[in-house]
Structures are given as structure tokens and as C-alpha cells.
Amino acid sequence: MARMITLRSSDNEVFEVEEAVAMESQTIKHMIEDECVDNDIPLPNVSSSSGVEAVPVEDDVAVDVIEEIEPPSAAVPFSRLFSYVDELDWVLMVVGAILPCPRGVALVVYLYFFGRVINLLDSHSEALFGKIKQQSEIEAFQANLIAQKLQLENKKAKLKGYLTGK
């Protein structure tokens, strides 16, 4: 038989409910867990009319016992992951480590040329607009060359992969 909990409403009406039903309320649950309850649990915000309506509904509902959740299996150590790596994975890891390098180099090149543009803006010559236009065309051309080179390297890597069958 389940343990019964006594609840007292704001107008001193007493209700007895099963402990599992009373534990549905977080406030009551904490009071029961902390053993703050001697005889009955006061409910100052609940009137007897609302309590009478709520208790039968809760009594009719079967309370399911919460099953313990199974903990996840132990994680695989990082070093053990490499025991599952095949040749294609090694190639992909190496390519993935090398291909971002040109992008990092391109960033330095961009910073250099943008610094030159800023230096051009400091000079007070009448040909400033022409120099800026010329410099921007050079930078656009260089950026285009770098992008084409990266695309060619990517296509070579894909073609090499197709030819080797990996």
C-alpha cells in the first residue's frame, strides 16, 4: 500500500492523496524530500473547491514508476580512434591539414596590400584616385590568381583520388 500524504487547503479542508500523486508538485516533493512535514502539508494558495476537483483526477491516473535511465557506454579514448583509420582516412586527414595553408598565406598577402592602400590614402597627391584604382586592380588580379591556384590544387587532388581508386 502506498504511503498517504495529508494536504491542508487555505480554508482548512483536509485531503489525503498517495505520495506518488503528491510528488507531482515540485513544491510538495521538496518538502517531503527535506522532511519538513510533520503532520500535514499546508497549501495556502489552494482552496478546497479547487483541491476537490484536482485530487480525484490525480487519483484516477495511474502513476508510472520512473525507470532508471541507462548510462551511456564508456567513451572510446582518442588514441584508440586511430586504430580504426584506413588509408583513405589518413589521406583525407593530411589533405585537410595542408589545404588550409594557402588560405592562411593569402590572408597575409591581403593584409600587405591593404596596408599599401592605406599608405596610399595618407599621401596627398592628385593622382591618388589613379593609384588606388591601379592598386585595386592589381589586388583583384592577384586574389583571382590565388583562387584559381586553389581550385586547380583541389581538382588535382580529386583527380588523383579518382585515378588511384580511393
**Distance separating alpha carbons of residues 131 and 121, to the nearest angstrom:** 9
pLDDT above 70 as % of the chain: 76
pLDDT tens digits along 128-160: 777 888 888 999 999 999 999 999 998 888 888
> Residue 58's pLDDT is what?
47
**Distance separating alpha carbons of residues 94 and 117, to the nearest angstrom:** 36
Q: Is the pLDDT of residue 57 over 60?
A: no
> Residue 148's pLDDT is what?
92
> Residue 141's pLDDT is what?
92
pTM listed for this prediction = 0.30
Return the domain boundaries, the chain. Answer: 4-60, 78-164
> Residue 55's pLDDT is what?
47
Q: Is the pLDDT of residue 118 over 70?
A: yes
When pLDDT is cut at 50, 70 and 90, the band that residue 124 belongs to is low
- Which grid cell sits at 98? 595542408
**Distance separating alpha carbons of residues 95 and 154, to the nearest angstrom:** 10
**Distance separating alpha carbons of residues 119 and 125, to the nearest angstrom:** 12
How far does Cα 147 stand from its chain's mean position?
Answer: 32
**Distance separating alpha carbons of residues 111 and 143, to the nearest angstrom:** 12
- Which grid cell sits at 54? 484536482
Four-residue CA torsion sign, 101, 102, 107, 108: positive
Q: CB 29: neighbour CB atoms within 10 A?
A: 13
Q: What is the topology classification, in CATH, of domain 4-60?
A: Potassium Channel Kv1.1; Chain A (3.30.710)
Kindly give the pairing relationship between strand 4-8 and strand 14-18: antiparallel
